[in-house]
Amino acid sequence: MSTAVGDAAPHQRTFKVWRGDKTGGKMVDYTAEITPGMVVLDAIHQIQATQASDLACRWNCKAGKCGSCSAEINGKPRLMCLTRMEALPEGDVTVQPMKAFPNIRDLVTDVSWNYTVNKKITKFTPANPGTRFVAEDGTFRMQQRDVERTQEMRKCIECFLCQDTCHVIRDHEKHEVFSGPRFFARAASLEMHPVDVADREPFLKNEGGIGFCNITKCCTEVCPEHITITDNAIIPLKERIADRYYDPVTMLWRWVTGADKKDG
């Protein structure tokens, strides 16, 4: 837990920033003047404004709400706008682009793969009016406690830090066969929606490759929105898939009762 920002005197810090693109590059040293409450993104802006006006970095809201300024600070995937200088240990600060995606330039990476994966997830498909939870006029009647699991996953700001830190993508480069934590969270938000009637379990098991996840929880550790991705999205989905494809008793039960669709 961080402490309140005081009025400490400005001081100098050295930043080692990746300059280059996918063909190559190097870490370049810059010095920035640190004032109270400053975050890494401020330092990068200062370097941009005074020393390297072409230093490429993405950013938008500067308040941890848009998920643009993802980078690896001192080796850890983080949002630059939420990383306070006081929270970093003494010494140089390294700032690098995300490793799991192709580098475009400096701190900017090509995250288009994520948008491609997103398209594969069946969109929200509400039940017909006049059914459970859907009034005749098409408006929904859902209890707060029934939507909270979905709402947690919808806090996602698509910074893709979870995708970056996930070793299945980062080290094993299973982009073709694995959707990654961000999209398991999205799928979970839809699968747990009381009104949704689409079935994404076959996708998750097959193209989505949820079986590649070995629940080592780095996604949850880096999530700046503190979404419990592993425990509240991935493991519940794995359990649903176990019901459907691996548990002989529930499989038999489904066969007997004819419930080949998901619950609820």
Partner 1 sequence: MNQPSATTATLPQGSGFGATMRKDNWWIGPIGIAALLLSFLIYSTWAAFQGAYYWVPGTNYLSPFYSPEIWGHSPHAFILGQPGFWQSWMPPFSAALLILGLPAGFRLTCYYYRKAYYRSIWLDPVACAVGEPRKSYWGENALPLILWNVHRYFLYAAIVFVFLLGYDGIIAHMFPVNADGTSFTNVQYLATGAENPAFDKTKPVEAHHHVFGMSLVSLVLILNPLLLAGYTFGCHSLRHIVGGRKDCFAGGSGCGTDLHFKAWSFVSFLNRNHATWAMLSLVVVGLADVLVRLVAMGKISDFRFF
Partner 2 sequence: MEIQTFEHDVLVIGAGGAGMRAAIEAADAGCSVGLVCKSLLGKAHTVMAEGGIAASLGNVDDRDGWKVHFADTMRGGQYVNNWRMAELHAKEAPTRVRELEQWGAVFDRTKDGKILQRNFGGHRYPRLAHVGDRTGLEIIRTLQDHSVHKSQIAVYMECCITKLIKDGERVVGAFGYYREKGRFVLFKAKSVIIATGGLGRAFEVTSNSWEYTGDGYSLAYNAGAELLDMEFIQFHPTGMVWPPSVRGILVTEGVRGEGGVLRNKDGKRFMFDDIPENYRNQTAKDPEEGWRYTQGDKTAMRPPELLTRDHVARCINREVKAGRGSPHGGVFLDIAWIKERVPNAREHIKKKLPSMYHQFMELGGLDITTTAMEVGPTTHYTMGGVRVDGDTQMSCVPGLFAAGEAGAGLHGANRLGGNSLSDLLVFGKRAGEHAAKYAKEQKHGWIDEAEVKASMEWALHFMDAPKGDENPYKVQQDLQKMMQAQVGIVRKEDEMRTALEEITKLKARAVAVQAPANREYNPGWHTCMDLSNLLIVSEALTKCAIERKESRGAQFREDYQEKSKEFGNCNMIIKKGIDGQMQLRREPVTPLTDELKAIIDEQAK
Footprint on residues 49-68 left by partner 2 (CB under 8 A): 49-50, 53-68
Shortest distance in whole angstroms from residue 138 CB to partner 1: 18
**Which parts of 155-184 interact with partner 1 (CB under 8 A)?**
165, 167-168, 170-176
Burial 160-185 (b: 16+ CB within 10 A, else e): bbbbbbbebbbeeebbeebbbbbbbb
Contact pattern from residue 206 through residue 235 relative to partner 1, giving x for each residue in contact according to CB under 8 A and a dash for the rest = ---x-xxxxxxxx--xx-------xx---x
Is there binding between residue 106 and partner 2 (CB under 8 A)?
yes
Is there binding between residue 214 and partner 2 (CB under 8 A)?
no
Q: Site for partner 2 (CB under 8 A): which residue of 133, 221, 228, 236?
A: 133
Q: Are strands 11-21 and 93-96 parallel, antiparallel or unpaired?
A: parallel
Report the candidate in 226, 121, 124, 239 with the shortest Cα–Cα distance to residue 180.
Answer: 121
Q: Site for partner 2 (CB under 8 A): which residue of 80, 93, 108, 162?
A: 108
Is there binding between residue 111 and partner 2 (CB under 8 A)?
yes
Residue 16 burial (CB < 10 Å; 0-12/13-18/19+)? middle
**Which parts of 174-193 interact with partner 2 (CB under 8 A)?**
186, 189-190, 193
User: Is 65 or 167 the residue whose CB approaches partner 1 more closely?
Assistant: 167
User: Is 143 or 257 the residue whose CB approaches partner 2 more closely?
Assistant: 143
Is there binding between residue 251 and partner 1 (CB under 8 A)?
no
Per the CB < 8 A criterion, the answer to whether 146 and 222 are in contact is no
CA distances from 98 to 58, 160, 184, 215 (A): 12, 9, 20, 21
